[in-house]
Amino acid sequence: MSRLSHVDAANQPTMVDVAEKTRSRRTAHARARVLLPAAVRARLVDGELQSAKGPVFQTAIIAGTMAAKRTHELIPFCHPLGLEGCRVTITVADDGHLDIDCQVRVEHKTGVEMEALTGASVAALTVYDMCKALSHEIVIAEIRLLEKTGGKSDFSGRAADA
């Protein structure tokens, strides 16, 4: 069985030392699925939600991007990274619910999975915050890594969608 990466030989929490790792292009794509109750879906106009707090999707995209850039301030042991790219998109699926995608890239010694997951998560939380006046039955159903490249190994969770 392999060890947890953030626990040292003395079983104490620690940040991973990346000094000897090789820089490479690292990418990650995460998705949050937000289930909207009928009261909120009814407010979708031309694929966008408006609230008293402003344009929901645009605000969530900005919040998700800001969160991805500040992941190291939120998650212990994440390395500070100068992200080279971060794209948050929100689409209304055929069932009327939302898919929030966060795609991140960097040239670095460590991956960006946590940045992508954090970006998608905070964007989903922002949708909830901006729409909770319409309903508290909004559900953030799942947040998951879809794909990562670079580093020791690549990962694709898209096979689970097939």
SS3 15: coil
Per-block average pLDDT, block size 10, for the chain (162 residues)? Answer: 73 77 92 95 78 88 98 93 96 93 94 96 97 94 96 79 54
Domain residues for the domain of 54 are 24-147
Residue 115 is predicted with a pLDDT of: 97
pTM beyond 0.75, yes or no: yes
Quick check: is 156 in a domain? no
Domain count, the chain: 1
In a domain, 109, yes or no: yes
User: Counting Cβ atoms within 10 Å, is residue 47 exposed (0-12), middle (13-18) or buried (19+)?
Assistant: exposed
| Cβ-based neighbours of 40, under 8 Å, separated by 6 or more | 49, 131, 134, 135, 138
CATH number at residue 66: 3.30.70.640
Give the pLDDT score at 2: 66
104: tokens are 């991140």
Structure tokens belonging to residue 75: 């998650």
CA dist list (Å): 95 to 41, 58, 71, 78, 92: 10, 21, 31, 35, 8
pLDDT at residue 1 in the model: 47
The predicted structure's pLDDT at residue 10: 82
Residues annotated as catalytic are 129
The identity of residue 23, as a single letter, is R
Asked if residue 10 is part of any domain, the answer here is: no
Q: In this structure, is residue 120 part of a structural domain? A: yes
